[in-house]
Amino acid sequence: MRFDLQARHQQIDKLVENKLSFNSEHAQLSIYDTYERAFNVPLSSNNVLFCGMLQGKKVMHVETCDYHHDFLPNESFVLAPEQTVHIDFPDASEPTPTTCLAIEINSDKLADIAQKLNIQNQSSIEVAYQNELVHVEHNWQTQALLDRMVHLFTENEDQRGFLIDLALNELVTRLLTQQTRELILKCANSQSHQDPISEVVEYIEHHLSEPLDIDTLCKIACMSRSKFFNYFKSCLNMTPQQWLQARRLTKAKELLRKGKSITQIGFDLGFNHTSQFSRTFKNAFGVSPKAFQKN
């Protein structure tokens, strides 16, 4: 994300979590800079707080769910209302401050978008915000959206409020969709099938290295091909092939962290060549498997 860091750094009110905020009707966007090492700094909000890292590193601690994790650029960290996180800034300094943004989203806005999604959703799994922590890496669409939101909030564009509202709708939809996906995955992994889609997801999880067999998936869901494709996309906001690819790449990250060889990972997850795996991984995460494993 690009904004005028140099100009902002000339006006430092505090060294830890120096804050600059911009308001809209349903949300507030704040940019935080920290210029010195600090530890155990609390953060909470009355509303859902969507945080995105821009520069540097934080370490997030949430005692209520025994969560302790690095928070890095190109990642999001979402706090539920009244949930408190304690933050360490191990690398912050005046020449290279740690910088992040936080978007506080009105609860009524969340409920309104969830209701609209449920009206058009064919699934029996209801879309609703779950009061729990969400920590994910961005795909390129989410990263581009956050870039656009920083520009919209900080500039005096024509129809600023209307454009911010459109972008906020997209951001909340991505958050709610991500939580719905996680719920479906939990159901699949626990074999608690609340919906046909969780049975399909469970089957895909156990066959990540194989090409998709759409006929088998349709039989599991007891649907025709056309109905199955429409239903799958309405539940997960992606096609079956896109879901398979996303799950392969998520699994690849797990295996890379464990030190498994890149060639073996690509083979185990159904990629035809190591070069195909490396190219697909880099397109998704902006870094090669080798660099990801090294870091």
Comparison of pLDDT for 163 and 286, the residue scoring more: 163
Distance CA 76, CA 133 (A): 10
Q: Name the pLDDT band for 1 (thresholds 50, 70, 90).
A: very low
Checking if the pLDDT of 77 tops 70, the result is yes
* Interior/surface letters 37-46, b for 16+ CB within 10 angstroms, e for the rest: ebeeeebebe
- pLDDT tens-digit series, residues 113-147: 988 888 777 666 677 788 877 888 777 778 889 99
pLDDT for the residue 96: 92
E strand spans, the chain: 18-23, 27-34, 38-43, 48-55, 58-62, 67-71, 75-79, 85-89, 98-105, 134-137
Sheet with 85-89, strands from edge to edge, namely 38-43, 85-89, 58-62, 67-71
Q: Are 52 and 40 in contact (CB under 8 A)?
A: no
- pLDDT tens-digit series, residues 31-44: 999 999 999 999 99
| Lowest pLDDT segment from 73-87, 113-127, 267-281 | 113-127
pLDDT for the residue 105: 94
pLDDT for the residue 68: 86
- pLDDT tens-digit series, residues 207-257: 999 999 999 999 999 999 999 998 888 888 889 999 999 899 989 988 998
- Which residue shows structure tokens 């943004």? 101
Q: Name the pLDDT band for 2 (thresholds 50, 70, 90).
A: very low
**What value does the mean pLDDT take over residues 270-275?**
91
Comparison of pLDDT for 152 and 64, the residue scoring more: 152
Comparison of pLDDT for 16 and 185, the residue scoring more: 16
Percent of the chain with pLDDT over 90: 49
Question: Would you say the pTM of this structure is higher than 0.75?
Answer: no
Comparison of pLDDT for 196 and 244, the residue scoring more: 244
Comparison of pLDDT for 256 and 285, the residue scoring more: 256
Compute the mean pLDDT over every residue in the chain, rounded to the nearest whole number: 86
**Of 183, 175, 171, whose CA–CA distance to 125 is shortest?**
183
What is the distance in angstroms between the CA of the first residue and the CA of the last residue of the chain?
Answer: 22
pLDDT for the residue 36: 95
Contacts of 54 (CB under 8 A, 6+ apart): 1, 31, 73, 99, 100, 101
**What value does the mean pLDDT take over residues 16-37?**
93
pLDDT for the residue 193: 58
Distance CA 228, CA 81 (A): 36
